[in-house]
Amino acid sequence: MRLTGGKDETQNNCGIVAEGRFAVDRLDHMILVQIIDTIIATDDVEQLHNLISVVHDYFGKTYNARVVVRFPAAFDNKIDMNNPKLKNNVSTFMVANMSDLKYDNDDLVQYDREQYVLVTDKQAIVVYANQIMIIMTTEAFCAKDWDEEEAYNRILSASAVAMIMDKVNKVPVGFGRIFMMRNNNNNEEETLGYLSDVAVNIQHQNKGLGRVIVNYLVSVYIGQNASQRSTNGSICLICGKKGSGAISAPKLYRSLGFEHLDNIGNRIAILTSDKYYFRRSLQR
């Protein structure tokens, strides 16, 4: 992805303003944009606003999606995020940098292993697409319009998935997925990730199962093996205001290092917009 500055008064091309990469999660109407390099200064509010507006408008209109724009880590602590032109407008958006994340090895996470097991193989999980659809439509407000095909496609399109299986009753009781984009920036790997569709059946909540799911997905994002581990990056999520986990979910995410954008100031140079976002259920 390259963005140019158009033409100057002599009709000459102004050159490349920014370069980056993007990834599209069509099912979740989410676009991740990683700006790898830009000639715009960190204190040039007007030019930053123009760049962000172009990116948000283009991708938002094209995909009817939320758009997340992550600037290089060199922009952290330097952009004036209090300026109205740069202020984020998604109050439920949470984010964490790689260095902020707190997670445990799977064998250290406490839950009833006699009753529950964590399943992470896509082919094993997709068999339960219908049951996962039921969990999501019951417990997650954002998934009220899912059908079995939607669940099936979300499982297979994710970078990684996690399911909690009740071994006693032989049914799934929890689910979550992550969508990731890895980039190389000046020989340093940066990963931008989006955590979504995390839900636990209400009868099995308050047993640590949500933490098991999120902890696993965070470990995938970080890279459990030294050869896979990213050196920099950010991971984000939308924390729903409705649903059975609306109260407990923010506490869980904060305990793992996530913070609402309103609380981090300019520490992480990430901006999001849902100006053009819609769900099918909103159109009915």
Q: Answer whether residue 282 shows pLDDT above 90.
A: no
- The predicted pLDDT at position 4 comes to 65
Give the confidence band of 87 by pLDDT, cuts at 50, 70, 90.
confident
Q: Answer whether residue 11 shows pLDDT above 90.
A: no
What is the extent of the structural domain holding 64?
2-90
Percent of the chain with pLDDT over 90: 64
Give the DSSP letter string of the chain: -EEE--B-TTS-B--EEEEEEEEEETTTTEEEEEEEEESS-TT-HHHHHHHHHHHHHHHHHHHT-EEEEE--GGGTTTS-TTSTTT----TTEEEEEGGG-----GGGS-S-TTTEEEE--HHHHHTTHHHHHHHHHHHBGGGTT--HHHHHHHHHHSSEEEEEEETTTTEEEEEEEEEEEEEEETTEEEEEEEEEEEEE-GGG-SSSHHHHHHHHHHHHHH-SSTTT--SEEEEEEE--SSBTTTTHHHHHHHHTT-EEGGGTTTSS-EEEE-TT---GGGG-
- The predicted pLDDT at position 225 comes to 46
Q: Answer whether residue 284 shows pLDDT above 50.
A: no
Domain match, 63 and 195 both = no
Per the prediction, the chain carries an average pLDDT of: 87
Domain match, 77 and 103 both = no
Domain match, 244 and 108 both = yes
Domain match, 45 and 70 both = yes
Do the domain assignments include residue 276? no
What's the mean pLDDT in 13-17?
74
Range picked from 143-152, 216-225, 240-249 for highest mean pLDDT: 143-152
Do the domain assignments include residue 274? no
Do the domain assignments include residue 271? no
Do the domain assignments include residue 249? yes
Query: What's the pTM?
Result: 0.89
- The predicted pLDDT at position 247 comes to 76
Domain match, 114 and 12 both = no
